[in-house]
Amino acid sequence: MNVKALYWFLKSFVVAPVLRLLFRPHVEGEEHIPRTGPVILAINHLAAIDSFFIPILLRRRISFLAKSQYFTGKGVIGFLTKHFLLGVGQLPIDRSGGTASANSLNSGLKALAEGSVLGIYPEGTRSPDGRLYRGKTGIARMALTAGVPVVPISIQGTTKIRPFPRRATIRVMIGDPIDFTRFEGFDNDRLILRSVTDEVIYEIMQLGEQEYVDVYASTIKNNSEFDPTR
C-alpha cells in the first residue's frame, strides 16, 4: 500500500471513525480552503492530537512538518511509528537550526510545488498553557517564496481530552484565506516576514478564544520557573 492509499485508509476506516464517535468534532468554514492548488493552513497548537483532528475533518489531504526524530525509532515500534506518520501525511524535518531549518523550508516548498495542502503550526511548538504565542517567521518565508495563500485555523478543546479519551467538545474554526502577494519579492526582508507572521497569528486569535502572549512558546517552556498548572 503506497503512502497516499495508507493515508486515506487510516483516515476513512481507522482514525476518523474512532475520533468522530468519541468526540463528535465540529468544523466551521471549510469552504474557505481552496478545493485545488497549493495552500498553507496556519493552525494554533494545543495538543499532539491536533494533527489527527485536522486531517479527519477536512476533505483535502494535508501534509504536516514533523520532527525528524519521530521517524528514526528502532525496532518494530519505530518501524510502525515511521510508516504511520508517513501514512497520515507527516513530513520529517530537522528543527535544530541553521542548515536544518533551510532543509525544513525546502521540504515545505517541495510539497507546495506539488500542489499540496501544507499544515503548519506557526508557534513552532505546542502551547504550554493554552494561550496563543508569538509565531515563528518560517511560515511567512514559505508563503512568500511559494506565492500561496494562508488559511488561518483555530482548534479548540483538544487539551481537555486528557487523559485520553475524556469527553470534550472539539471545534475547528477556519478563516478566510490571506493573500500575501502584495509582498512578492520580500521573502528575505525580516520586517516583512515578521509583519506577515503577526498578521497570521492575529487572524488565528480572532477565530478562537485564546489569550495572546507576545513571546515564543519555546521561551516559556525553557523557563525553569514556569508552572504549567497555573
In tens, the pLDDT along 54-68 reads 888 899 989 887 767
Give the residue among 34, 88, 81 at the shortest CA–CA distance from 63. 88
**pTM for the predicted model, two decimal places:** 0.87
Ranking 62-66, 121-125, 148-152, 168-172 by mean pLDDT, the lowest is 62-66
What pLDDT does residue 96 have? 60
Q: Which residue has the cell 471513525?
A: 17
d(CA 122, CA 160): 22
* Architecture label for domain 24-66+96-221: 3-Layer(aba) Sandwich (3.40)
Q: What is the pLDDT of residues 154-206, one digit of tens each?
A: 999 999 887 777 888 899 999 999 999 999 999 999 999 999 999 999 999 99
What pLDDT does residue 88 have? 65
The more confidently predicted of residues 84 and 22 is 22
What is the residue extent of each domain of the chain? Answer: 24-66+96-221
Please list the alpha-helical segments (H only) found in the chain.
3-9, 16-23, 50-57, 75-87, 99-113, 138-146, 190-207, 217-221
Q: Is 137 helix (H, G, I), strand (E, B) or coil?
A: coil
d(CA 222, CA 120): 22
Tell me the residue length of the chain: 230
d(CA 30, CA 175): 8
The more confidently predicted of residues 133 and 230 is 133
Quickly state the pLDDT bin for 229 (edges 50, 70, 90): very low
C-alpha cell of 11? 483516515
What pLDDT does residue 169 have? 87
Quickly state the pLDDT bin for 97 (edges 50, 70, 90): low
Q: How many beta carbons lie within 10 A of that of residue 52, not counting itself?
A: 18
Q: Is the pLDDT of residue 46 over 60?
A: yes
Helices 190-207, 138-146: inter-axial angle, 10-degree rounding: 100
C-alpha cell of 163? 487523559
Q: Is the pLDDT of residue 120 over 80?
A: yes
Q: What phi, psi does 41 have (nearest 5°)?
A: -100, 120
Amino acid at 23: F
